[in-house]
Amino acid sequence: MSSKPGIFSFNAAQITSSMRGQYRAVQPYEKLSLQPGEQGLSLVIELPMDARIDDRVNVVLTKHGERNAKCEVSLVVDPESYLTKIVEIKVKQSLDAGPYFMQLNLVGLHDYLKNAAEFDIILNERIIVSEPVSEAVTTQTTGFKRIFNSAVSAVLSVF
């Protein structure tokens, strides 16, 4: 196995050679062992030819033998990544070590699925990330707003 980091592609046939710059193309049949860094897990993904600006790349990690996703990360394709056709997604969520299914989804403008790919990966180490306090406060505020708005709309619907 090469020491170069792997690049995940939606279409392995799209990568003309097994090397693209500083990255080695990961084939769908490989079981790739990934080593998380101090800031979480970093995944380099080659965008398919049908990717457009403002499309979303979703990464879903599901532990082998389980039904529910353990981690979902999303990234919007910006003009720079559209031109280079390469994006880097950082998984900043706590995950246990072990085997995972990784699903890549390219979602278009109106939330329709444009492209998908699946890979088997193995996390060598557990990822431990402390949750920021500000996100919890934002979630509570959003929940309060939602309840308040639904109560107001219920009262106004009577009239």
Cα separation, 81 vs 78, in Å, equals 6
Edge-first strand order for the sheet with 113-123 is 31-34, 113-123, 98-107, 56-63, 71-76
- The rounded mean pLDDT for the chain is 76
26 compared with 79, residue with greater pLDDT: 79
Confidence class for position 140, pLDDT limits 50, 70, 90: very low
Cα separation, 77 vs 129, in Å, equals 25
Is 65 a residue whose pLDDT tops 80? Answer: yes
Percent of the chain at pLDDT > 70 equals 69
DSSP designation for 17: S
Other beta carbons within 10 Å of 111? 7
Is 148 a residue whose pLDDT tops 60? Answer: yes
Burial class of residue 17 in the structure, from the number of CB atoms within 10 Å of its CB (0-12 exposed, 13-18 middle, 19+ buried): exposed
31 compared with 109, residue with greater pLDDT: 109
Rounded to an integer, what is the distance from CA 137 to the centroid of its chain?
A: 24
The pLDDT assigned to 139 comes to: 41
**pLDDT tens-digit readout, 34-56:** 877 777 788 888 888 889 999 99
Is 98 a residue whose pLDDT tops 50? Answer: yes
Is 15 a residue whose pLDDT tops 90? Answer: no
Cα separation, 105 vs 56, in Å, equals 8
The pLDDT assigned to 138 comes to: 40
Percent of the chain at pLDDT > 90 equals 18
Which tokens sit at 86?
């390469």
